[in-house]
Structure formats: C-alpha cells, structure tokens
Structure 1
Amino acid sequence: MKKTLLGLSALLTISTAAAQGTITGAGASFPFPLYSKMFSEYKAANVNYQSVGSGSGQKQILERTVDFAGSDNPMTDAQMKDAPGKLLHIPTAIGAVVPAYNLPGVTRALNFDGPTLANIYLGKIKTWGDPAIAKLNPGVTIPPLPITVARRSDGSGTTYVFSDYLSKVSSEWKSEVGTGNSLQWPVGTGAKGNDGVAGVVKSTPGAIGYVELVYAKQNKLAFGAVKNRAGKFIVADNGPASAAALGVVIPNDTRVSLTNSANANAYPIASFTYVIFYQDQKYGNRAEAQGKSLKNMLTWMVTTGQQYNEALDYAKLPANVAAKARTIINSMNYGGKKL
C-alpha cells in the first residue's frame, strides 16, 4: 500500500508540473542576474529565460518562438509594424550601465564625462595618459597604458543604452555612430553579452568596457563615476539609478529613455529594462491557460517580485511606473476575451 501511495504522489507531482507548463523567454543579458533570481523564486510556473541579447530577444518575440522577450530598449513603431499582433512593453527594473576598467595600481574610482567616453569609443583617445582623462582626475596617478576598448559583438540593449547616452552628449558620436542595438564600431574588441565584455576587461590591463552594474560588481571590476547634466560626478547605485526616472514623463506604453536625466542626483547612464509580449495571447497552438500563466507571472514581477531588485543592484520600479505596468498587463486577452 505504501508503495502505491508513493507512486500516486509521484504521478501527482508530474501532473502538476505538466499543468503549470513552461513559460519561455529570451533576450537581454542586462537583467539576467535579476531574472535568474526572480524565476527561481516564482513557484506558480516553470520559467526558462535565455540570456541571448536584446536584439535576439526582439527577433524571437516577432517570430513568436518565445512567450516574452527581454530588452533594455523598447522596440520602435517601425520595428513593431510587421509584428503579427499588438506588442506590449512593461518595465521590470531600472539598471545602470557603468564604464568598467582594468588599471593596475589605481585604487580610487576614476571620473568620466560623456565627451571623454565618446572619444574613447571613437578611437580618438588611445591611452590612459591622455590629457582629457587626467583633467577629470586631478591628483590621481594613472599608468599610461594603451586603452583596449571592449564592446558588444551581439545585438544588445546595453549597447543601445550606452550609445543613446553618448548620442545625447556628443554630436560627433551622434553623427558618426548613432544609437542602436548593433553599431558600426570605430574601434574595439567585441564580446558577447555583458559577461563577455566583463571578461575582456577583467583579463586585459588597460581595458575599458560598458557593462550593467551587477556584472562589474560580480567580476570585482573597478568602475568610474560619470558626470551628469547637473555637473556632478555620480557613482552608479540603486538610488542614483532610480533618480533617473524622477521628473521624466512616462507615457502610457512606458517606452521612454532615461539617459542623461536632468535630475541633479541621477546617474546619467540608466535605463528601464523591459519585458515584451503580445496583447492577444491566442495565437499558434497556445491554450488560454498559457496566456493566463504569463499574465500572472508578469503581474508578480512588477509587484511581489520587486523585492529582489535592490539586493541585486537594480532599482525598483517607481510606484507610478508599476501602476502603468499593471494596467498594460491587465489589457491582455485571449481572442478578445479578457484573461
């Protein structure tokens, strides 16, 4: 009898897991540490998220091969016009992109400003001994190593955020390179993912690379303060990242840029990271239960799931933004029927 009960218990466990199904997502590496934690804590469904870059995530949601995409930049109207259904965006966190570097013997965080970062990535500043860097860091002895520029090789929302900021602070960057997930880089060693860029910086004395804050911290990389619009050098942290959203008009669809904020206490290279999904969940062979499961998970991410943001160096959503996200989620339907 005992053996029979154990067998029945095992069958019930398997049946429950099958009923829950699996929610699949793919995209940005920027929020991957946060999503890994969130999805391990979320018990109502199995969630499989692949960190493949924002560009790949956007492609997969357009092709409907995943339930949701992760992206650090919202898709444009032009990108969405060929989608087979209406796409929605919700932010899940605010993160910071930092200039991480490897300079042996330098123990104080360096200062950077937008034009200097742009000129490094334009290939105009080639060594750490350049006067532009020295001027921003009086009293700091910086080894005059050649600069190895590290950047993303894949379609990347982190690249979009960084290049969006550079386009706002450097007219030369804006005209010569511009803003995007994938760029024609003037210089640099390419690597895949935030983890790939962090790896190049960690292993290369003289390297600099732009990575999401948590990747710099996890890899024990030095990262610099960046001068904001108010003229203050700000070190990235949850508070300064959150301040980037203060005073910004958040549209109802939440698609907005937070870089180069006018807030005096804001870190200037900050961004929402988004989840992208279809409003009408009735497509392909999807059952209504799958759409409902996705809706429940998204609601959890912008409510209960927010408790995991700050410990992993992401800022929580401001209350007004979380409210807009819930409104968007509540507009989901299944063939016109409210989920």
Structure 2
Amino acid sequence: MKIRPYQNLYIHVPFCNGKCAYCAFYSEPEVKQEAVDAWLCRLELDAKQYAPQSVPLNTVYLGGGTPTAIPPESLERIFKIIGTYFTLAENAEISTECNPESLTEEKAAVLGRCVNRVSMGVQSFNPKFRSLIGRRGGGAGTVERALDLLRSNGIANIGFDLIYALPEQTLDDWVRELETSLGYMPRHISAYSLIIEDGTELAARDFPPEDNELSFRMWQTAQDFLGAHGMPRYEISNYAAEKYECRHNQNVWHGETYLGLGPGACSFDGAVRRTEVPSLARWLKGDAAEQDIIEERKRLSEIFIMGLRTVRGWKKSEFSQFSVLSWREMWSKIIEKQISDGMLKESPDCISPTEKGLAFWNDLAEAYF
C-alpha cells in the first residue's frame, strides 16, 4: 500500500491527577512541571520532524491521560506548537478530552481560544459508581460548573463519556444516567461497557463475572433512548446529534492517515502503523517506536472492518481510494455469508453492518483474518 501524507493529528497528553481503577491507558498519575516541560520539548521536536509529512489537517485530537490536568500555560503551549508547525484545513475539528474536576477558568479560556470540540470524561453521575471505579470529582455539580465554564468561553460542541455494565448497576440505574446526561444537552455521548483489564486496580478486586445479557440490554437501551431523543447511534459505542459526530474518529475508522505524538501514541501513514513506547521516561530517551508492518491484503482487511464499526459502513467511492479491487472481489464469500447471517446489508453503492453486526462486531471482524 502507498504511503500517504498525514491527514489527522493525535497528541497523547500522558498526565493525570491520579489513576482511575478501570484505566488501562498509559498515563503518569501525577503532574510534575519538570516532566510536563520535558514532554513539551520532545513534542515540539517531533512536530517539527513530522509536520512536513502532513497535508492541512482535517482534525486534531488531544487525548490522554487528562489534557486538562496540566497547567493552562502548558496547555496553551501545545496549541502554539500545533500552530507553528502544522497547517489546519478549513473548518478543521479540534478536540480535547477533559475531566470536569480538572477544569479551571484559566484552562477553559485556553480551550475557548484553541478548540471547537470537548469530550468530557463523566463516566457516571452516581456517587456510588464513581467511587467504585475510583473516579475523582463531585459528579453532577462538578459537571455543571465545567459546562458553564466551557459554554461561557464559546464552546458549544460538548460530549460526555459514560461507562455502563458496572458491578451492581441495574438497567434502571443506567437509564437514570442517560436521563441525567440529556438534561445537560450534550451534542455527543460515548457509552462504553466496562472491561476489566489485567493490571488495573479493578482486576485485583473480587467482582462477579459480567452479566453479558444485562450488558447487551444496556447497549440496546442506549440506542433506543438516545435515538428517541435526537442522538442516534453512529458507531458501536457512539451517539450524536445531527452533524456532531466525532470527525476525528470517523476519519480514523475510514482509513485516513494520522500522526500520533507522545508516549503510547499511534500513527498510520497508509501502509505502516507505528506506536510510540508507552513510557514517558523511555520516550524522552528516544527509544524506538514499534513498527506494525503487515501484508497489503491484511492491512486492507483491517481498514475495511474498522469502517464496519460505523452505522453507515462504506461507500464504494471511499473504499476505492485504498484498493483497486472492490470489497466483493476481495471477500465475496465472507460477505455473502454475513449477509445471509444477518450481520451485513448491501446496496449497489454501500455496505454496512446491521444492528446484529454491530452487536457482534468482533465475530464479524474475525472472519476477514
């Protein structure tokens, strides 16, 4: 496959004010200014190195960690680095993750000048469940304050991240979470089933096995409830008001290239996937990134199935940008079986997953490898 210029930018801000009990992402559980400054210096060096390999960026996404855990001056320096070395496309989407308890007036002012989309890590409004997963902050009151700060600085495109299938959580508990969320009028909701990862604090606790049937009912409830309130599902775990889908994720799911900067960040140049070492100390020393080099057919399979995470799936005109062969020419028998099994649906110009295909996406995807 051909190497293409980077179309999107992801920056991993590895700092947090502590480690949540469920979190398996790489982060530093303490904000030390010396470490933040060293990270910013290396970030600038990498931006200078890789920016010439990019076109005007369609999207920028700051994730973590917690981008809003660092001081406002450091947060603003990130955007100065972006502005110095990269060009943004017209109407580029610029997103950041944000924990409501870490947002201050000064940080909200920086975001108001620099971003047009915020994804707020709420996870749960219920104090019982927040405590269970080790989530800091004061729940609804903290969220209200953060929303006021963001909106008063001109940011209207705000979404919530929620977690369901928590230990002891009932379906009624989950409905109340959705009702509370909609009361704050977000434009986007990401709802993820709790996965207890090895190495996390939750993994060391003696929780009963996940109730898969209840988890599935919660997944369906999110679709039905949010869809009835003008926020239909557009990806397995994501819901949005019209025109408020996360463009960064849509681009990644549909094969666009992206540059990842920071420890643990992943890049894709159209052929090779590169993942930076998930350690601030090793990344600062310059340890080499891991290269994921696979044959072209497997890479095309990977791109194809990622697009099938979305409700809209693929248009022929989109997929033809990556392959001279159509999806039928590459995987006709698999596609026929999955249509017969009720996992996929196809029209002359499109292919997309059914609700069953979304629910059992792992099974759907496995067939292509």
TM-score by length of 2: 0.26
TM-score, normalization: structure 1? 0.28
* Rg larger for: 1
